[in-house]
Amino acid sequence: MTSLDPCSPNYADAIAKARAEFLASCPAKEEPQEQPEPAVAPYPLLSVKEFCAIPQQRDIVKGMLPSVGVGYAFGASTAAKTFFIIDLAVHVCRGQAWRNLSTNQTPVCLFFLEGISGGARRLQAYETFHGIKIPENFKIGIQPTTFYKDEDVESLRAAIPMNSLVIVDTQSRVAAELDENSARDMNFFIEQCYRIAIDRQCCICLIHHTGKNSDRGIRGASSQFANADFCIEVSRSGQHRKATVRKSKDGGLEGAEFPFRLAVVDLGADSDNDRITSCVALPDGEAVQEEKPLAPALAYCLESLQRALAATGKDCVHLEEWRPHFYERSTADTDGAKRAAFNRGKNKLVHLGRINVQNDYYSFSVPAYESVQQRTDVRSPITSNSVRTVPPSIRGGTRTQGEGYAYE
């Protein structure tokens, strides 16, 4: 590189030229570009036609439990809320009609957070009494959790199946540290439940209690009822119980009543040889009979069971012992028609709570037996106010030594 004499008259020009050559050899510096502000997405508004064209999801239980929502089954501590809701939930997970209401078969998640052993006995009693196995899509949660803390909400959203029925027994267990008398706390709690319901497209049924004055409804802040999509009150009068729909979406079944009773089920003996029992909820046949007399075909079916019991002298008869007595006076033309009428009749009588069944052995429920006993001299082992227990095993339709009946 040629050295320059600072005293040279061309020194300044040489420096300027060298600087220009250096800058020319450097890449051009990009000027920072101003980023445009993001456009605000407009809120989506629909026309009436577009809105009405949105597919409507079926209720989980028609007119009672919506496909997506949050609500309550509430009542006093002795009202048998859990027994009632188990019966409803098993029908849902099996896709069976419940009390003549259609169901949309969905998975069930039951959070048993008050007494694990008692919860297990209730489900075992249901299987024993009805002679079924509860399907695998009926899941149980027993680990303590909340339905409002963010970390718990995220965990539940990851676990709960899509399009399911979620039952929480009880609200107080999943709303710990919140004040149920505070509208602010309960609004927050229900909003967190909605986060789960909307994300999983599920229906959450919270089991809750009434206060000291049951006429005031759900215990705690009135905002619970106001914010709920549905509310079912479970109440008791003596041995008779009923579930009343106090609130439903679009008023579908508001005011509808579903009477039920409890039947005690013997589950065997423990290590000390003490009997283990639990209960199942059954339609209250007496209340159903008062509301709607039996159709002639059902009355004939019930009478044929009475004849079978009288002929055998037993408290209950096997399906094949009953069948000939039905066929004997049936007006159907063919054996196939008789078989279909017999199956329809016995299934409907079980559904109405007029008869009991276990392992294909059939017997009268209390109200049905009393109505028949007025016309016959068949002796009944059950009193007018008792509820019959179905033993875990019935040998030949007779009670074995040591087995018997328990009462509420």
pLDDT in tens, 271-289: 888 888 899 999 986 544 4
CATH number given to 286-373: 1.10.10.10
Question: What SS3 class is residue 322?
Answer: helix
pLDDT for 390 equals: 39
pLDDT at 255 over 80: yes
Do residues 238 and 232 touch, judged by C-beta distance below 8 A? no
Question: What SS3 class is residue 352?
Answer: helix
Distance CA 257, CA 241 (A): 10
Highest mean pLDDT (candidates 254-263, 293-302, 363-372):
254-263
pLDDT for 230 equals: 95
Provide the pLDDT confidence category of residue 158 given band limits of 50, 70 and 90: very high
Would you identify the CATH topology of the domain 69-283? Rossmann fold (3.40.50)
Q: Which of 11-25, 35-49, 54-68, 283-297 has the lowest mean pLDDT?
A: 283-297
Average pLDDT for residues 128-143, to the nearest whole number? 93
Average pLDDT for residues 41-69, to the nearest whole number? 92
User: Six-digit token pair at 3?
Assistant: 């050295």
Mean pLDDT, rounded, of the chain: 81
Q: Where are the domains of the chain?
A: 69-283, 286-373
Tokens 């196995």 correspond to: 133
Q: State pTM to two decimals.
A: 0.63
Q: How many helices (H) and strands (E) does the chain have?
A: 13, 12
pLDDT at 168 over 90: yes
pLDDT at 408 over 50: no
Tokens 């695998």 correspond to: 136
pLDDT in tens, 257-266: 999 999 888 8
Question: What SS3 class is residue 224?
Answer: helix
The residue that leads in pLDDT, 251 or 56, is 56
Provide the pLDDT confidence category of residue 388 given band limits of 50, 70 and 90: very low
pLDDT for 28 equals: 64
Write the CB contacts of 276 (distance below 8 Å, at least 6 apart in sequence).
121, 266, 267, 268, 269, 270
The residue that leads in pLDDT, 78 or 358, is 78
Q: Strands 69-75 and 138-141: what pairing?
A: unpaired
Q: Give me the torsion for CA of 397, 401, 402, 405, rounded to 10°.
A: 30
Angle at 72 between CA 68 and CA 77, to 5 degrees: 155
Q: Strands 257-269 and 240-247: what pairing?
A: antiparallel
Question: What SS3 class is residue 156?
Answer: helix
